[in-house]
């Protein structure tokens, strides 16, 4: 490409490219991910984290309290440890018992709070928490790693490095509930606090503290067994461990139900990429930094394991792509736009998105401010403009879902699935529409089909009619019309794929969301259930400083 | 037994209950918002929604909407649904007739109030809602907890008149919890239950996608 042709103004990638499920399902964490926003703030504001109470007995039963002191206010994690028989350990949301259960308290809990929480938190969904609480969570041990680590530490030895690396976590959470769930405080009560304004900060803080608790608990259990002989877990080994997480379909509808929020997450990242794309001269130091981080990411990719054939293939391709990238970057610095354009031709989608996240890394000052744009209140506040001529609504639908308008929505394959909620656990599920009796219970998540049906119904009306008149007769198209109007100002609000098609891979939706959280090590266990790690590599409170707060997500330390 | 809920819980169940009562999802969204908005000013949105569900149960829903969106909103025959009429009001909030509009025979008219407040917010200017025996000025900041509001929330049906302008009463500070009437809450829960598919062994295994042992 000629230099004169290069467009150095910020140019966002088109939604038609970014919002395809296969690409959303290839996203990687980046500077703007919610875990990294949290650790940067914790370090910058010198949050103090302390174990304020530890009442856990030698069998591992009891509770502990971790307090968090921020410049403005305090929070606390109350952790309950249980002694769970192995046959009751299940990561499914339908489980009824866990190895540990947690609540994040707004402020510092007193004895009455602890007693109240002890009666409810271990029951999880069957209990009630109050507006004093921000999150409810639970976790199960990785049985094989837990036993191994306790045994080794009790004997005064360190655990086997290979086993640590293979599992990667001592406990995995199976749900982290916030935002008013099960009686917790509504988000509206906390969203104006700077430290909780970015998305999911209370949930991320909960997981960060769980990870501290889990490390302390495993050492406690080793001491209980080995007494004075017991060793502490080597700090470097502890740091490499994350908190595992099993995520199923419950998370998928969130992205569809919060179109403005999805837009803001994606747009913040796209804007960051575009700003970096627009840079002309690249400082050798910045070039070197991206190359180094790519090497560290490559080391992580080498260690990645997945039993899922598709993911195993993708991991292999990513490793290969990172090798190509590292080789490509051996030359002198050139504009990131060149390298990104090169990647679009040579690398797979995972590799392209890895590079897109990587190139942003040296430019905190240029892009970190975008973090403030990732929250949103419009998803509740937006009102349909019923004065809009319905011809314009049709046009908006066609711009986003043009590809879906010619699909035969009476055929079986494009409508193979239906999203529904089962009466059993009140969790979203995905079923076979033409084989199970679920169509009557369908959730409004079939965005492409519903947009196409609305488009078709709108065609029967004169173009100049205000859409309010149409909606009076066709309330069933209200969701689609609202979404179409949102797309007019939120270009990344819609996933541009058929969410009820036979080919749908729900894990792509999960990965998109989890990557914005900052999760790593995606390991799908089926097409609708994925294991990940959170905070793997993150410094514990005693080593968290502005220097360590950011790049922990890349394995290994800087050369 | 008293029921204490987060506003999000109230809204989510009210939304599903409205769907269970036969409303389209997009209208059910509006019902959930309305129930929550009433709870925010300390009124029982759940009770109002339950009353509405009872009132519309025997009526075809398409009959509960204004025949025309001009200066007199009335159904071709019978009363109006406050959610359907309220949603239409918000849809048209940007272009309300200067002289105001009559909204005739509104069922459970308390549920129309949140939409009037939303219309004021969209217009960024007050609207005035009046009926026989009451008047309330509602500003963009939200619903006041005025005696008129309390009275309207007790009415089973009312002829309303809404006009742009007027003097808004100060918005009520927001409650942080909803305390619905337990009997009304139970009705909403059972209506919401109609949106859940009966569990089958197949859905348990394949629907959520597990089936593999996760006890490792």
ipTM comes to: 0.95
| Number of domains chain B is built from | 1
B208 within some domain: no
pLDDT band at B206 (very low <50, low <70, confident <90, very high): low
Counting one residue from A and one from B, how many pairs have CB atoms under 8 Å apart? Answer: 170
Size of chain B in residues: 216
B202 within some domain: no
The tally of CA atoms less than 13 A away on the side-chain side of residue B78 is 14
Residues of chain A with C-beta less than 8 angstroms from the C-beta of B200: 436
**E-strand stretches of A114-236:** 133-141, 169-177
Chain A: nearest CA to B66, how far in angstroms?
A: 8
Does A439 lie at the interface with B, CB-CB under 8 angstroms? no
Option in B7, B27, B210 nearest A248 (CB): B210
Q: What is the CA radius of gyration of chain B?
A: 19
Domain ranges of chain A: 34-248, 378-489
Q: Under a CB-based contact definition with an 8 Å cutoff, are residues A72 and B201 in contact?
A: no
pLDDT by residue for chain A (559 residues), tens digit each? Answer: 334 444 445 689 999 999 999 999 999 999 999 999 999 999 999 999 999 999 999 999 999 999 999 999 999 999 999 988 777 777 666 677 899 999 999 999 999 999 999 999 999 989 999 999 999 999 999 988 999 999 999 999 999 999 999 999 999 998 999 999 999 999 999 999 999 999 999 999 999 999 999 999 999 999 999 999 999 999 999 999 999 998 888 888 999 999 999 999 999 999 999 999 999 999 999 999 999 999 999 988 877 777 788 888 888 999 999 999 999 999 999 999 999 999 999 999 999 999 999 999 999 999 999 998 898 767 778 999 999 999 999 999 999 999 999 999 999 999 999 999 988 778 889 999 999 999 999 999 999 999 999 999 999 999 999 999 999 999 999 999 999 999 999 999 999 999 999 999 999 999 999 999 999 999 888 888 899 999 999 999 999 999 999 999 999 865 4
B215 within some domain: no
Collapsing DSSP states into helix, strand and coil, what is residue B189? helix
Mutate to test the interface with A, among B21, B26, B80, B114 (most CBs of A within 10 A): B26
Contacts of residue A228, Cβ cutoff 8 Å, sequence gap at least 6: none
Which chain B residue has the Cα nearest residue A248?
B208
Mutate to test the interface with B, among A472, A481, A485, A504 (most CBs of B within 10 A): A472
CB-count burial class (<10 Å; 0-12, 13-18, 19+) for A325 = buried
Q: Under a CB-based contact definition with an 8 Å cutoff, are residues A183 and A129 in contact?
A: yes
Closest CA to A505 of A349, A298, A301, A304: A349
Q: Under a CB-based contact definition with an 8 Å cutoff, are residues A196 and A74 in contact?
A: no
Which chain A residue has the Cα nearest residue B91?
A386
What residues 315-374 of chain A have any CB closer than 8 A to a CB of chain B?
A: none
CA distance B198 to B216: 30
The secondary structure of A245-275 as a DSSP string is: EEE-GGGHHHHHH-HHHHHHHHHHHHHHHHH
CA distance A412 to A418: 12
What residues 47-86 of chain B have any CB closer than 8 A to a CB of chain A?
A: 61-62, 65-66, 69, 84
B207 within some domain: no
Distance of CA A289 to the CA centre of its chain: 25
Option in A387, A441, A444 nearest B197 (CB): A441
Range of the domain at B64: 5-195
B19 within some domain: yes
Option in A90, A186, A438 nearest B176 (CB): A186
Which chain A residue has the Cα nearest residue B88?
A468
Residues of chain A with C-beta less than 8 angstroms from the C-beta of B14: none
Residues of chain B with C-beta less than 8 angstroms from the C-beta of A387: 91-92, 94-95
B209 within some domain: no
B210 within some domain: no
Residues of chain A with C-beta less than 8 angstroms from the C-beta of B210: 91-92, 248, 525-526, 529
Residues of chain B with C-beta less than 8 angstroms from the C-beta of A182: 9
B29 within some domain: yes
Collapsing DSSP states into helix, strand and coil, what is residue B105? strand
- Are the Cβ atoms of B176 and A92 closer than 8 angstroms? no
């Amino acid at each position: 490409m000629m230099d004169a042709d290069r467009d150095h103004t910020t140019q966002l990638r088109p939604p038609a490219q970014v919002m395809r499920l296969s690409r959303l399902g290839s996203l990687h964490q980046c500077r703007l991910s919610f875990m990294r926003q949290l650790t940067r703030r914790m370090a910058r504001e010198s949050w103090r984290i302390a174990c304020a109470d530890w009442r856990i007995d030698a069998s591992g039963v009891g509770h502990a309290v971790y307090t968090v002191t921020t410049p403005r206010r305090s929070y606390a994690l109350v952790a309950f440890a249980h002694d769970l028989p192995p046959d009751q350990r299940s990561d499914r949301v339908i489980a009824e018992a866990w190895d540990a259960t947690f609540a994040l308290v707004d402020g510092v809990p007193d004895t009455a709070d602890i007693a109240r929480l002890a009666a409810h938190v271990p029951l999880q969904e069957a209990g009630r928490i109050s507006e004093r609480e921000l999150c409810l969570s639970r976790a199960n041990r990785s049985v094989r790693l837990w036993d191994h680590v306790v045994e080794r530490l009790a004997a005064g030895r360190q655990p086997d490095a290979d086993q640590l690396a293979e599992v990667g976590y001592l406990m995995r959470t199976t749900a982290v509930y916030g935002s008013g769930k099960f009686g917790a405080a509504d988000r509206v009560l906390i969203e104006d606090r700077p430290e909780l304004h970015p998305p999911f900060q209370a949930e991320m803080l909960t997981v960060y503290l769980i990870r501290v608790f889990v490390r302390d608990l495993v050492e406690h259990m080793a001491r209980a067994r080995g007494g004075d002989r017991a060793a502490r877990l080597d700090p470097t080994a502890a740091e490499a461990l994350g908190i595992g997480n099993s995520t199923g379909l419950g998370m998928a509808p969130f992205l569809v139900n919060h179109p403005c929020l999805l837009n803001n997450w994606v747009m913040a990242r796209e804007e960051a990429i575009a700003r970096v794309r627009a840079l002309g001269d690249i400082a050798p130091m910045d070039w070197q930094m991206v190359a180094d981080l790519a090497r560290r990411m490559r080391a992580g990719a080498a260690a990645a394991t997945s039993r899922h054939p598709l993911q195993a293939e993708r991991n292999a391709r990513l490793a290969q792509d990172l090798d190509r990238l590292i080789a490509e970057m051996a030359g002198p610095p050139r504009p990131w736009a060149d390298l990104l354009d090169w990647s679009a031709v040579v690398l797979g989608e995972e590799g392209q998105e890895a590079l897109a996240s990587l190139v942003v890394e040296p430019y905190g000052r240029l892009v970190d401010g975008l973090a403030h744009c990732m929250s949103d209140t419009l998803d509740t506040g937006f009102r349909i403009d019923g004065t809009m001529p319905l011809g314009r609504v049709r046009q908006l639908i066609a711009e986003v879902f043009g590809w879906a308008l010619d699909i035969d929505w009476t055929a079986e394959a494009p409508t193979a699935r239906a999203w529904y909620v089962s009466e059993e656990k009140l969790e979203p599920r995905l079923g076979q529409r033409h084989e199970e009796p679920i169509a009557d219970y369908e959730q409004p998540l079939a965005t492409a089909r519903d947009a196409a049906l609305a488009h078709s119904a709108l065609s029967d009306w004169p173009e100049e009619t205000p859409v309010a008149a149409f909606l009076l007769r066709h309330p069933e198209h209200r969701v689609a019309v609202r979404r179409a109007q949102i797309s007019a100002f939120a270009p990344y609000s819609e996933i541009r794929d058929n969410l009820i098609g036979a080919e749908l891979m729900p894990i792509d939706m999960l990965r998109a969301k989890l990557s914005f959280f900052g999760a790593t090590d995606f390991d799908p266990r089926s097409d609708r259930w994925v294991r990940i790690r959170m905070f793997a590599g993150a410094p514990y409170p005693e080593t968290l400083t502005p220097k360590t707060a950011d790049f922990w997500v890349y394995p290994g330390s800087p050369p | 037994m008293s029921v204490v809920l987060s506003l999000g819980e109230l809204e989510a169940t009210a939304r599903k209950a409205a769907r269970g009562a036969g409303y389209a999802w997009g209208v059910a969204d509006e019902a959930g918002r309305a129930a929550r908005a009433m709870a925010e000013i300390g009124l029982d949105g759940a009770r109002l929604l339950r009353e509405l569900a009872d009132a519309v149960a025997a009526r075809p829903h398409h009959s509960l909407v204004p025949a025309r969106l001009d200066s007199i909103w009335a159904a071709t025959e019978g009363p109006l649904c406050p959610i359907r009429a309220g949603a239409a009001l918000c849809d048209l909030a940007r272009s309300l007739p200067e002289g105001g509009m009559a909204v005739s025979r509104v069922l459970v008219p308390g549920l129309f109030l949140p939409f009037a407040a939303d219309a004021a917010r969209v217009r960024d200017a007050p609207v005035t809602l009046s009926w026989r025996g009451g008047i309330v000025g509602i500003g963009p900041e939200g619903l006041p907890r005025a005696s008129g509001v309390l009275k309207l929330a007790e009415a089973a049906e009312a002829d309303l008149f809404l006009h742009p302008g007027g003097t808004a009463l100060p918005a009520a500070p927001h409650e942080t919890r909803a305390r619905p009437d337990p009997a009304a809450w139970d009705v909403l829960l059972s209506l919401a239950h109609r949106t859940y598919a009966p569990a089958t062994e197949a859905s348990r295994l394949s629907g959520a996608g597990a089936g593999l042992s996760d006890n490792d």
